[in-house]
A and B are shown apart, each in its own frame.
Chain A
C-alpha cells in the first residue's frame, strides 16, 4: 500500500507540474498582416517554475511559409526595464533603462524585447521552438510574444536589422494587449 501511495504521489506531482502551462493563440501583425498561418492550430505555450525562477516558452507555428526562419521573442510593455531578462539581453532600451515608445495599430506604448530563438518551418510550413529562460528576476511582467519576419534582428549571424524585424505574429495582440507573467 505504501508503494502504491508513493508511485501515485510521483505521478500526481508530474501531472501538477505540467498543468501549470498556459496556451495562447497567435494573431496577425503588428507590422505584417498577410503572412500565412493556421491560426487555429498555431500556439504559444508558457509556464513558470516557482522553484527555479524559470519561464519556459514553446512557440508553435502551423501552416506558415515553408522552409522559412521566424525569430521569436518576448515584448515587454514597460516604462523602465533591466538590461537582461534571465540569460538573454534586453533590446531597445533608451537613455540607460527606459523603454522605447512606438505606435502600432493605432496604439502608442513603450516596450523592450528579449530575442530568445528561431522557429524553422519544414516543407509544410510547420515548426516549433522551446526555450527555458532564467533565473528571471522576481516581478510582474506585461508581455506579448512575437514571431518576426526572418532571423537576425538584434542578433549576430542573420539578416540584420531590416525587414526581418517586422512582426508577423503576436500573442495575445493586438498591439499593447498583453499577458501578465509573475515570477515569484
Chain B
C-alpha cells in the first residue's frame, strides 16, 4: 500500500512537471511566432497567419524548441534562411543605425529645445 502511494505521488509529480514544461514551451513558441514576419502575407506575423509558409515555420519553431534551441538561436536560424526581414525586431547594425538612433537624437534635440525655452523664461 505504501509503495502504491509513493508510486501515485511520483506519477502525479512527474505529470505536473511535464505539463508545466509543455506550458513553458507553448509560451516560448507563441512569443517567437509573434516576432516572426509572415513573408507572403501583408503585415501579419506567423502567429496570426494560416498560410502554408506560416504553418511550415510554426512546425520548424516547434521542432527547434524541442531540440533545445534558445529563442535567440531560433531567430538566428531564421535570419540565416530568410534574412533580417523575417524578424520583426531589427538588430542594431550598420543598416539599422538610423532606425535606432534617430528617435534618440530627436528626443535629445527636443529635450534641448525645451530646456533652452524654460531657461529663457526664467
Asked whether A and B interact, the reply is no
Q: Interface residues, chain A, CB within 8 Å of chain B?
A: none
